[in-house]
């Protein structure tokens, strides 16, 4: 065996082989992403250029404008050249006015050529670059604030969920959670929002099992947590979602409003929301380019696989997805410190040696991705409603986090599967975390599994199965000639979900780009 990696005696050659296979599987997907655009990518570009607001029916002007351009000249060229050509021709003085006039049917769009195309391209780039400079400014603002008020004093960061449906109720709950020790506040998105092909406008006071993700809600919560950060003397991070049919737009809004983390998984929307695979991969590449620019940490969703598949038998699918998420993220410009790769404590507690198995899986992730923060997810699938048993399971989960040096630890709730947690439930859950971290938070400095023992053998087994799965995916084909990963997703390789590349929600919002396609946001983000 070649030189080992980390605290586990993993074969370095195997680790390199796993990454090489992930790159081999991922490259054709990147090629597909570069060959397509989506309505959400084009809308996100207009948002960067400053277009905001909605009509009287609540439909955003970016939707109206993209739909009008698409109706006149198609989506395959992008919307930037037709839009800025119309502005240059004097159809309107501003983007807002152009969107309103287009929605009223008083503007016709066309594809400019020659000098007119060159001028439109220059104007579009200037407008979008101005938006990206605002994102840059918000990133610098975060850095200054952390330097001024201080950062969380230790890792892992304690990540707590808030979700009332009402942003004005979320704010005091989030502030209370921060005062009790939470380092990251995640505002859970309203059920079903991922399937809306538009972003609601303004502050919202209703939502089911979560609060709508809007730019105004982002702004309100960020401002509230900034005040709490100053009060506590440590920066409190804010998380939301860049997923679903509006993934690129969510990323842009997060950059503009200085969010710190975004849930952004390469396959979650495909598997668990039946969103078209090509739509998802195109949107996630653009969104990750924006996250890279904004200095946002992404959280991936591998934990969800273990809610539908057995956590022991499917452990290698989690590692496979982590490696693919790493490849896609780095290709889009994200750095190791921005990779909150997901994994979870989801083995049935009645399985013999379940704790040792969980420890092996967590250590494998830690050793494979030593410079990534990693997001460690608490038990949910096997929470029965017995709150005492649940509280103990969460304590075991916290202990694994301490033993393996996780970077982001989502607080488990003993009332999982019973009710939406009350503030008192969150307080008890935070007490659990505080006790374990105070008592054993640095235990990872001392803990080394036995050489060739149970934990090490299990980790090697999962890594070997990961390599075998990646090899199988690389050879997967279908009659339509899709990329191997698309074929594997259609076969149900991940989470037992079968999602063909030519089906799923949002497919009608995808277009293969033409030779005349132009997007200034992509040009700037890739060039930089």
- Among all residues, which ones are annotated catalytic? 268, 303, 375
Radius of gyration of the chain (CA): 23
Q: Where are the beta strands (DSSP E) in 50-177?
A: 157-162
State yes or no: cis peptide before 151, omega within 30 of 0. no
CA distances from 230 to 102, 129, 167, 182, 184 (A): 45, 32, 21, 15, 15
Say if residues 78 and 42 touch (Cβ distance below 8 Å).
yes
> Which residues, in sequence order, are bridge partners of residue 394?
none
Number of H helices, E strands in the chain: 19, 13
How far apart are alpha carbons 36 and 282 in whole angstroms? 7
Say if residues 514 and 77 touch (Cβ distance below 8 Å).
yes
How far apart are alpha carbons 322 and 343 in whole angstroms? 8
CA distances from 87 to 41, 47, 95 (A): 20, 16, 8
How far apart are alpha carbons 407 and 357 in whole angstroms? 20
User: What is the DSSP code string of 298-331?
Assistant: EE--GGGHHHHS-TTTTHHHHHHHHHHHHHHHHH
**Angle CA(231)–CA(236)–CA(238) in degrees, nearest 5?**
135
CA distances from 70 to 1, 22, 166, 422, 429 (A): 57, 36, 35, 47, 50
Residue/partner pairs of 60-64 with CB below 8 Å, 24 or more apart? 60/198, 60/199, 60/201, 61/95, 61/96, 61/99, 61/100, 61/103, 62/99, 62/249, 63/39, 63/197, 63/198, 64/99, 64/100, 64/102, 64/103
For residue 405, give the nearest of 438, 344, 362 by alpha carbon: 362
Backbone angles phi, psi at 42, to 5 degrees: -70, -40
Q: Tokens for 208? A: 């089911």
How far apart are alpha carbons 405 and 393 in whole angstroms? 18
Say if residues 485 and 28 touch (Cβ distance below 8 Å).
yes
For residue 321, give the nearest of 335, 306, 301 by alpha carbon: 301
Q: Tokens for 467? A: 């390599």
How far apart are alpha carbons 239 and 258 in whole angstroms? 10
How far apart are alpha carbons 50 and 513 in whole angstroms? 24
CA distances from 384 to 298, 312, 414 (A): 30, 19, 9
């Amino acid at each position: 065996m070649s030189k080992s990696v980390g605290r586990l005696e993993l074969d370095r050659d195997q680790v390199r082989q796993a990454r090489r296979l992930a790159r081999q599987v991922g490259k054709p997907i990147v090629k597909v992403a570069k060959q397509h655009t989506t309505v959400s990518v084009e809308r996100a570009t207009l948002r960067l250029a400053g277009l905001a607001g909605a009509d009287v029916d609540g439909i955003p002007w970016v939707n109206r404008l993209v739909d009008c351009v698409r109706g006149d000249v198609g989506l395959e060229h992008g919307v930037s050249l037709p839009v800025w050509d119309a502005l240059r021709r004097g159809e309107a003085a501003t983007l807002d006015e152009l969107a309103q006039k287009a929605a009223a049917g008083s503007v016709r769009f066309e594809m400019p050529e020659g000098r007119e195309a060159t001028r439109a391209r220059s104007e579009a780039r200037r407008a979008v670059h101005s938006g990206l400079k605002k994102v840059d400014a918000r990133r610098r603002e975060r850095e200054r604030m952390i330097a001024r008020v201080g950062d969380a004093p230790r890792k892992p960061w304690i990540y707590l969920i808030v979700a009332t449906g009402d942003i004005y109720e979320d704010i005091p709950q989030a502030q209370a959670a921060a005062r009790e020790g939470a380092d990251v506040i995640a505002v859970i998105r309203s059920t079903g929002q991922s399937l809306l092909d538009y972003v609601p406008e303004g502050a919202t006071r209703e939502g089911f099992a979560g609060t709508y993700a809007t730019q105004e809600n982002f702004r309100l919560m960020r401002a509230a947590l900034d005040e709490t950060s100053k009060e506590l003397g440590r920066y409190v991070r804010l998380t939301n979602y860049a997923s679903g049919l509006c993934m690129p737009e969510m990323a842009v809004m997060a950059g503009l409003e200085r969010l710190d983390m975004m849930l952004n998984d390469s396959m979650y929307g495909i598997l668990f929301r039946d969103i078209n695979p090509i739509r998802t991969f195109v949107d996630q590449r653009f969104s990750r380019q924006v996250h890279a620019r904004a200095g946002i940490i992404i959280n991936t969703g591998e934990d969800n696989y273990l809610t539908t598949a057995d956590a022991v038998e499917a452990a290698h699918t989690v590692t496979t997805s982590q490696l693919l998420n790493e490849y896609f993220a780095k290709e889009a410009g994200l750095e190791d410190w921005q990779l909150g790769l997901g994994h979870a404590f989801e083995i049935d507690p009645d399985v013999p040696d379940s704790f040792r198995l969980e420890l092996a899986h967590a250590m494998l992730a830690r050793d494979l991705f030593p410079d990534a923060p990693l997001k460690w997810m608490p038990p949910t699938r096997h929470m029965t409603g017995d709150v005492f048993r649940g509280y103990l399971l969460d304590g075991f989960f916290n202990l694994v986090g301490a033993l393996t040096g996780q970077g982001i630890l989502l607080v488990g709730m003993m009332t999982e599967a019973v009710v939406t947690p009350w503030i008192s439930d969150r307080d008890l859950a935070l007490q659990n975390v505080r006790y374990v971290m105070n008592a054993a938070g640095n235990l990872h400095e001392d803990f080394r599994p036995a050489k060739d023992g149970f934990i090490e053998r299990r980790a090697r087994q999962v890594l070997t199965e990961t390599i075998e799965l990646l090899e199988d995916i690389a050879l997967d084909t279908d009659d339509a000639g899709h990329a191997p990963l698309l074929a594997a997703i259609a076969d149900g390789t991940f989470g037992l979900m079968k999602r063909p590349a030519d089906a799923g929600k949002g497919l009608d919002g995808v277009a293969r780009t033409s030779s005349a396609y132009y997007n200034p946001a992509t040009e700037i983000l890739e060039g930089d």
